[in-house]
Amino acid sequence: MKKLHLILLLSVTCFLCNIMLPTCYAAGHKGKVAAVVQGNTEICGVLEDILPDLGEDACDVKGQISNLVFIKGDLPEMLEPERKVILNVQDTGKFMTKVIFLNDSDTKLNDIASALIKEEGGIIWYNEKGGLCILLLLKPENEFLPSVGDDASLKVKRNRRIIEGC
């Protein structure tokens, strides 16, 4: 009987861990839609208007962008290019996106503009942490345009681990 109780307790614990951990993990990565750009607009003009001063020369990348969403919020630690991310926007729904660019300390405005044009990104997630500007460019699999002020959350899609038996 004790073994049955132990197995039952272990099963309930595993079940709760699988449900609670992803929920807690996603809860800390929230943001707000700060700007939505629609229509064909010059990329450099848009980036100079919505991004903070990166302390460099003017942007000289030629190209236009049709839709761009700018979100300010917290970012998860484990992000890298090509990583799948689920973006949940209030009143708009959930969207699967892919990380196409993550800046570092020497990123220039031209690098960001080039990545947006080359990879056809449509979302900039901006996080200012300790004076460091962290930019994440996302490419949505489906087109969407939320409203300014909508709440957004970000959840990193984890690769499932395969457990091999004996």
Q: What is the DSSP letter of 16?
A: H
Structure tokens at 148: 């300014």
* The pLDDT value given to residue 23: 43
114 pLDDT higher than 60: yes
Domain ranges of the chain: 29-156
Q: How many CA atoms lie within 13 A of 115 on its CB side?
A: 21
Does the global pTM surpass 0.85? no
Q: Which residues contact 103 (CB under 8 A, 6 or more apart)?
A: 111, 112, 133, 134, 135
The predicted-structure confidence for 42-96, as pLDDT tens digits, reads as follows: 888 888 888 766 666 677 888 888 788 888 888 776 677 788 888 888 877 888 8
What are the backbone dihedrals phi and psi of residue 64, each rounded to the nearest 5 degrees, phi first? -125, 155
